[in-house]
């Protein structure tokens, strides 16, 4: 694949078709930028998923702690 693009690039430069080469270069840059944006979005989704998991774990721990504390309070009041 890389060999194909290298040959295309060399062919365009040897024929002095600078405008076509420039268009090719801009297209390559756009592909790289789009790839970076996709990677950033995937990273953002992953981080959000991790944050949500941590949030649910904290919430579950808090609920468990509150239930235990309320049972302790009921025992203390009954004494």
Segment-wise mean pLDDT, segments of 10 residues, the chain, 79 residues: 76 74 85 96 97 97 96 89
**Quick one: pLDDT at residue 1?**
63
CB 22 within 8 A of CB 30: no
Closest by CA position to 23, among listed 12, 32, 10: 12
CA pair distance 59, 61, nearest whole angstrom = 5
> Count of domains in the chain?
1
33 lies in which domain range?
2-78
User: Backbone phi, then psi, for 38, in 5-degree steps?
Assistant: -65, -45
pTM of structure = 0.59
Q: Give 20's contacts (C-beta < 8 A, 6+ positions apart).
A: 12
> Both tokens of residue 73?
């309070």
């Amino acid at each position: 694949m890389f060999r194909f693009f290298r040959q295309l690039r060399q062919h365009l430069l040897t024929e002095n078709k600078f405008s076509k080469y420039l268009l090719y270069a801009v297209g390559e840059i756009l592909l790289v930028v789009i790839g970076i944006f996709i990677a950033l979005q995937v990273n953002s989704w992953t981080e959000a998923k991790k944050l949500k998991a941590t949030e649910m774990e904290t919430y579950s721990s808090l609920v468990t702690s509150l239930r235990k504390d309320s049972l302790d309070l009921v025992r203390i009041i009954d004494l």
